[in-house]
Amino acid sequence: MPLRISRKHHDELLKLALAAGNQECCGLLLGRNDRLFDIVSCVNVADNPEQNFELDPVELLSRHKAVRRGGEPIIGYFHSHPNGLARPSETDVAQAVADGRYWLIIAADGVTAWKPLSEGARVIGFESIPILVEG
């Protein structure tokens, strides 16, 4: 089943990646099931933001609180690859949690979608998910 995202959000992701330059931009995907309703850009607090991303834990916590108050659920995460790699890196596999959420990767002027593949609780890779850009 494809992940459905609006043209507006798709273009916003490309702009965020471009604006971050040689650093990885990152953030959260809000929505329901296979439909993206909103994106939340977060500060990348990784030690080496050129090669890695780490969502600001303060922003992450406040978003979890918002969800509990009835806000849109978090259906995934996004980040960019300034090096152009249009698929998850080894680091992404190592960092991923088997939570069934979407990963969007912005690289080489395009957006690709992925979901962690796991054996038990261990993530062993990602599967490619088609994206349907609407509107």
Contacting residues toward Zn ion, per CB under 5 A:
89, 92
Query: Please, is 14 exposed, middle or buried when counting C-beta atoms within 10 Å of its C-beta (0-12, 13-18, 19+)?
Result: middle
DSSP structure string for 19-82: HTTTS--EEEEEEETTEEEEEEEE-B--SSTTT---B-HHHHHHHHHHHHTTPPPEEEEEEE-T
Among residues 53 and 74, whose Cβ is nearest to Zn ion?
53
Residue 92 Cβ vs Zn ion, minimum distance, rounded to whole Å: 4
Q: How far is the CB of 51 from Zn ion (least distance, A)?
A: 9
- Residue 54 falls in the annotated catalytic set: no
* Closer of 11 and 50 to Zn ion (Cβ): 50
Q: Which is nearer to Zn ion, 56 or 72 (CB)?
A: 56
Q: Catalytic pick from 12, 24, 59, 134? A: 24
Active site members: 24
